[in-house]
Structure formats: C-alpha cells, structure tokens
Amino acid sequence: MSRLAIPAAPVAIAFASGIALAPWARADVAWTTWLASLASAGALLLAGRTSWAAALLLAGVGAIGALRGIEPPLPPDHVARLELPRIARVDGRLAAEPVRWTPDRLRLLIDVEGVDGLPRSGRIQATVYGVPPPLAEGQRLAAELRLYPATGLRNPGTFDYAEHLKREGIRVTATARADRLTPLDDPVPPWPARIKHESLAAISRALPPTSGALLAGLLLGERTDLPHELDEGFRLAGVYHVLAVSGFNVALLAAAVFA
C-alpha cells in the first residue's frame, strides 16, 4: 500500500513518536525544533524540494507531539508543592456540582484560592463525610481539610488512579468532616444543575420512593436515595453501570414512553 493510500499515517506516526519521546524531551528544544522545521520546510517548498520539506514537516509534527506529552511544571504557588500530608484551612471555589455517593458521603472538586491564609492554586478532590450544608457548583467555601498527595493502587498492571487524577489536573486529594465546611456565598447554581434538581424533585413527586430512586439513577446518575438492598443487588449482578447516565438509558425510557 502506497503512502498516498494512507496519507495520514506518516503524520500520525510522527506525532505518536513525539509523544513517546516526551519523557526525555525538553520543552525549549521541542519549540526550537518545531519553529526551525516550519521555517526550513517553507524555504524548501519555495525551492521546489518537496520531499525534504515533507520530512522536515514530519519532524515538526514530532516536536508538536513531544510538546503535547511534556508535563508542564507546577506553578510555585501550587498546592501540591506544600509539604503533605497536612491539615489546612483551604479557601476555594467548587469546580463542579458535588457528587453524592451516599446521604453522608460526597465528593467535591475545589479550585484552590488560598491555604492557611496564603494565596495558592491548583485543584483538590475532597471526600466529605457527614451531612454537609447545601452546596452548588461555583460556590465559594472554606474548609478544614486533611490534604494528601494523589496516589493510587501500586499493583503492577492495575488502573493507575493517580495518573488519572493527574490528567484531570488533580495532584492533591483530601478528606474532611461535613461540619468543617463553611459556604462563603450562595450563588445561583448553573442551569444544568438547576435542571437536575428540578428533575429529581419531579421524579420524587410522581413516583414511589424506590421507583423514583431507580429512575433517578438511570436518567441522572443520582444514586443517593437508592435503597441499600437494591444498590447492592446491582453490584452483585455486575450491572451497576446501568445506573450511570447514558444515552442508552434515555433511549430505553423514550422507547417505553413513546412506543
């Protein structure tokens, strides 16, 4: 098969090679390589040396791949640069709607603004135990958190949770008691959160508790009110993923309603 039959293959290979070499590459060298390749390829194209120009452009694509794979350095004020673990007062803003796993356990994503009175940056994933005050995406809060470096299972070949968190921009995790959270303002939740809250309220009004909790899980991924025995039944049957939000679940409901 000729190169013309798969014109994107050389570009993809060059880009993937750059990503593979990223752990050993320096950002300044990659930028210089990209700029030099681009300028040289332009000059060669003007001179009619298309093959050489194509080779240099592929080198530039490889440099872009390396830049994509190079991990940028943390800013000096990043929360991950603190000595961890530690207990600290964190001021920040909720980056997403709180995820409630059970009535007394939820997960918060906090964009950090300050730690112990000093300006800090970064994002923390916090697990909160107890019944918290009402919280919404975008809300500022202060909390006493126990901070840890983000880690995962160390078994070879298993899912690297710490690397997953790093890709999400999370280098620090935390735990907290609900009574140590203090909302600092009361903003109006964004429209997706308002729609979800109104939908949950409508479901609870229209259906019995168990049926409403099941429908809320199928459509909205909200499993807080799901009875323990039903929740455990889904887990044991290996179909707990059915309670995650998906287009398939919505399609099933639409088919049942409009068929």
pLDDT 10s digits, 60-82: 898 888 888 887 888 999 999 99
Token representation of residue 161: 């949770």
Task: Using alpha carbons, list the distances in angstroms from residue 14 to 18, 19, 55, 63, 222.
Answer: 6, 9, 10, 9, 43
Report pLDDT for 119. 96
So what's the pLDDT on residue 252? 63
Helix axes 27-46, 50-69, angle to 10 degrees: 160
State the pLDDT at residue 3.
Answer: 47
Q: Is this prediction's pTM over 0.75?
A: no
Instruction: For residue 169, report the phi and psi dihedrals to the nearest 5 degrees.
Output: 80, 20
DSSP state of 78: B
Local structure of residue 7 (DSSP, 8 states): T
Q: What pLDDT is recorded for position 77?
A: 93
Give residues with Cβ within 8 angstroms of 229, minimum separation 6: none
Quote the pLDDT of residue 239.
67
Q: Give the chain's residues under pLDDT 70.
A: 1-7, 152-158, 187-190, 224, 239-259
Q: Domain 79-183 adopts which CATH fold?
A: OB fold (Dihydrolipoamide Acetyltransferase, E2P) (2.40.50)
Count of Cβ atoms closer than 10 Å to residue 158 Cβ: 9
pLDDT for the residue numbered 2: 47
| pLDDT score at 187 | 63
Q: Say how many CA atoms lie within 13 Å of 253 toward its Cβ.
A: 13
Burial 73-97 (b: 16+ CB within 10 A, else e): eeeeebbbebebeeebebbbbbbeb
Helices 191-206 and 209-220 pack at an angle, to 10 degrees, of 150
Contact indicator for 242, 218 with CB cutoff of 8 Å: yes
Phi, psi of 185 (to 5 degrees): -155, 180
Phi, psi (rounded to 5 degrees) for 224: -60, -45
Contact 106, 136 (CB under 8 A): no
Cα separation values, 54 from 7, 11, 67, 132, Å: 12, 10, 20, 59
Residue with tokens 């803003």: 93
Partner residues linked to 92 by β-bridges: 112, 141
Identity of the amino acid at 215 = L
